[in-house]
Amino acid sequence: RYDHVADAFVVQGPSRTITFSRLPSGLYGCRVRRAGVCLVDTVDSRTEGYSPRQVASAKAARRAMSMMGSPSAATFRLMIRDNLVNNCPVTLDAVRVAADIFGPDVATLQGKTTRQTPEHVDPAVIDIPPEIISRNMEVIVIADLMFVNGLPFLVSISRNITLITVSYMPSRKVADLRKGMRQIVSVYKRRGLVVTTAMVDNQFNPLRGLIGTVDLNVTAASEHAPEIE
C-alpha cells in the first residue's frame, strides 16, 4: 500500500514490514542492511583425509554417472558390482568416496524431485502515485539494437525513470523496427506517460515520422547515447 503521509510504499511481510521510501532520484527504494555469518561446508574441506588418487577416482565416478544418464548411487553400485558395464574403471569405493565428498548427485536429484504445488499468485496492480506521474509526464527514451548469439534485440531505457525494456526483433527492417518502437511507446502510454523523444543511432533514421508524435533524435555516426551502451 502507498502511505501518502510518509510518501512511501509499505509492504507487509509475514514477519516484518518493509518500507520503500522516496530516493533523491524521485523513485522509491529500500536500503537493505543485514550482517550475518553463514558457515559453508566446501568440497575442498570434504577432501581432507583422502589421498589425491581417491579424489581423482571420485571425480571419475561422477563423470561416469553423468555419462550413464545420472542413475542413483545405489543403482550405479549395482551396475558396477554385477559388471553390467564392460571395462568400467570405477570401483565401489570410488562411488562411496564421491558421495562423501560431493554429496548427492545434483542431476539425479533434479530428475527425481517431484514438482511442488506453486503458491497462488494474486495479480494485484498498484497504481502509480500521481506525484511520480506529474514529475515524469514527458519521457525521453534511449534505444538501440543488441545482439545475442547473432539475434537482434531492441533494448531501451528511459531517463529519470530508468525503465528498461527488451524485445526480440525478427529483423532490422523498417517495419520491424517501427513495430518495436511503437510497443515501447505503448508501455509508457498505458501508465499515462508520454514519450516525447527517442534517442537512437543512424540505423533508426528511416523511422522519422513513423512513430507518432515522438521526436526522433538521431546521433551522429561516431556518437552514442551513454545510457544504452
Mean pLDDT of the chain: 85
When pLDDT is cut at 50, 70 and 90, the band that residue 155 belongs to is very high
pLDDT at 37: 60
For the stretch 93-115, pLDDT in tens is 999 999 898 888 878 777 777 77
pLDDT at 222: 67
pLDDT at 30: 81
Residue 87 in grid coordinates: 571395462
92 pLDDT above the threshold of 70: yes
For the stretch 8-48, pLDDT in tens is 888 887 888 888 888 887 778 887 666 556 666 677 888 88
pLDDT at 103: 85
Q: Of the given ranges (22-31, 45-54, 183-192), which has the lowest mean pLDDT?
A: 22-31
pLDDT at 94: 92
pLDDT at 183: 93
pLDDT at 6: 82
162 pLDDT above the threshold of 70: yes
When pLDDT is cut at 50, 70 and 90, the band that residue 136 belongs to is confident
